[in-house]
Amino acid sequence: MITAERKPLEELLGYIAPYSRILLLGCNECVTVCAAGGRKEVGLLASALKMAARKSGKELQIVEHTLERQCDPEYVEEVASMVAQADAVVSMACGCGVQQMAMRYAKPVFPALNTKFMGGSERQGVWDERCAGCGNCLLGVTGGICPIARCAKRLMNGPCGGSANGVCEITPDVPCAWHLIWERLEELGQTEDYLEIIPAKDWKTAQGGGPRKIIREDLAE
């Protein structure tokens, strides 16, 4: 899941300062699940923006809407009439959704969220980073724990010298990924995997090779 957090109100107010009719658009996928841009957050932000604007003597007209998914053109198409009646769009989707909107409509589209990472939920209200989308998954040999997404230094072969008592030297409330990997391998009786040297990572499959694209030929028209 893609996780995101709302931008400070002040930044958003800056974007929309010239406009008075706003379409505030949520997304019912990842950002709903991570409590950043679903129907509920749209409602809260609408209230907040209206009040903040009113403080400076301006009455905002905000239309609230939440799409099933903002990163698909068909869904985005649904709001054409709403966009037509708005001066600007504030999107509460992740970066993908914002771009989808911006591509489709000629009106200004502003992001309401900072898109953060691909993560999982630890428990209610807590998400942590799990995947860096490197394009060449190593989890099969690292006991199901990713040293790229979860190690600050993206080390491939064991912890750095700063790992102590199982925690990362950079962020002490984060566990050392390699410590976790070792514990997990021990638990699975696969410590021999650890001895295997993982060759230097080819970052071409990751963003290092430029923007990526997936084409499923059987599906693509």
Partner 1 sequence: MEQFEPVIVAFCCHYCAYTAADTAGSQRLSYPVGVKIVRVPCTGKVDAKHLLTAFEKGADGVLVAGCLVGDCHFKDGNVKAARRVEFTKKYLEEIGIEAERLEMVRMSAGMGREFAETATAITEKIRALGPSPVKGKNCCCGKAA
Partner 2 sequence: MQKKTKLQSNGSVLVVGGGLGGIRAALDLAEARKDVILVDKAPCIGGLMTQLDRTFPTNNCDLCTVAPFTAKDSRGGHLDMRGLTTVTAVKGKEGNFTVSLMTAPRFVNVEKCTACGECQRKYPECVSFAPGLDPRAPTCMRYPKATPYAYVIDMAKCADKEGLKQCCPVGAIETDALPKVEEAQCGSIILAAGAALFDPSHLDYFGYAAQPDVVTSLEYERILSASGPTGGKLLRPSNGQPPKKVAWIQCVGSRGLQKGAGAYCSSACCMFALKEAMVTRERFDSEIETTIFYMDMRAFGKDYEKYLNRAKEQYGVRLVHSRPHDVLRPVGMDKLQILYTVDEAPKHITEEFDMVVLSTGFKMNEDVKKLAEDLAVELYADGFPKTDCFNAVATSVPGVYVCGTLQGGKDIPETMTQASAASCLAGAKVAVTPRPKAELPAVTPECAGSPRVGVLVTLCDHESTALDTTALVEYAKSIPHVVCAAAFEAACDPSSFDAVKAAILANGVNRVVVAGSSPRYELEKYQAMLAPVGINKYLIEVANIREQAAWVHAGEPAAANAKAKQLVAMAVAGVMAAKPLADHVVPANKNALVVGGGVTGMTAALELAGQGAKVCLVEKTAELGGVARNLVKTIEGGDVQALIADLVEKTTSHPNIKVFTATEIVDHSGQVGLFRTGLSVNGAYKEIEHGATILATGATPNQPQAFLLGENSRVCTQLDLQKVVNEQPKEVKKWKNVVMIQCVGSRDADNPNCSRLCCQSSIKNALAILKENPNARIFVLYRDLRTYGRFEEYYQKARELGVIFVRYSVDNPPKVEAAGHYANVTFTDVIMGRQVVVSADCVGLSTGFVASRKSNEALAKVFGLPLTDDGYFAEMHVKLRPVDMDKAGFFVAGCAHSPKVIAENLTQARAAASRAMTVLANDTLVQEAKFAHVDRARCAACLVCVRACPFDVPQITVDDKGLGRSYIDPVKCHGCGTCAAECPAKAIQLNQFEDVQILSSLDQLLAKVNA
Distance CA 184, CA 181 (A): 5
Q: Which one of partner 2, partner 1, none is in contact with 54 (Cβ closer than 5 to 8 A by kind)?
A: partner 1
Distance CA 153, CA 139 (A): 17
Q: How many CB atoms lie within 10 A of CB 86?
A: 23
Least distance CB 9 / partner 1 (angstroms): 4
Q: How many CB atoms lie within 10 A of CB 33?
A: 15
User: Considering only CA atoms, which of 31, 212, 35, 199 is closest in space to residue 115?
Assistant: 31
Is 43 or 175 the residue whose CB approaches partner 2 more closely?
A: 43
Binding site for partner 2 (CB under 8 A): 28-29, 32-33, 35, 38-41, 43, 66, 121, 123-124
User: Considering only CA atoms, which of 58, 57, 55, 61 is closest in space to residue 90?
Assistant: 61
Rounded to 10 degrees, the C-alpha dihedral 145/133/124/65 comes to: -170
Least distance CB 82 / partner 1 (angstroms): 21
Is 123 or 213 the residue whose CB approaches partner 1 more closely?
A: 123
Least distance CB 46 / partner 2 (angstroms): 12
Least distance CB 44 / partner 2 (angstroms): 10
Distance CA 125, CA 122 (A): 8
Q: Which one of partner 1, partner 2, none is in contact with 10 (Cβ closer than 5 to 8 A by kind)?
A: partner 1
Q: Which one of partner 2, partner 1, none is in contact with 38 (Cβ closer than 5 to 8 A by kind)?
A: partner 2
Under the criterion CB under 8 A, does residue 63 sit at the interface with partner 1?
no
Q: Which stretches of the chain bind partner 1, using CB under 8 A?
A: 8-10, 40, 43-44, 47-48, 50-52, 54-55, 57, 59
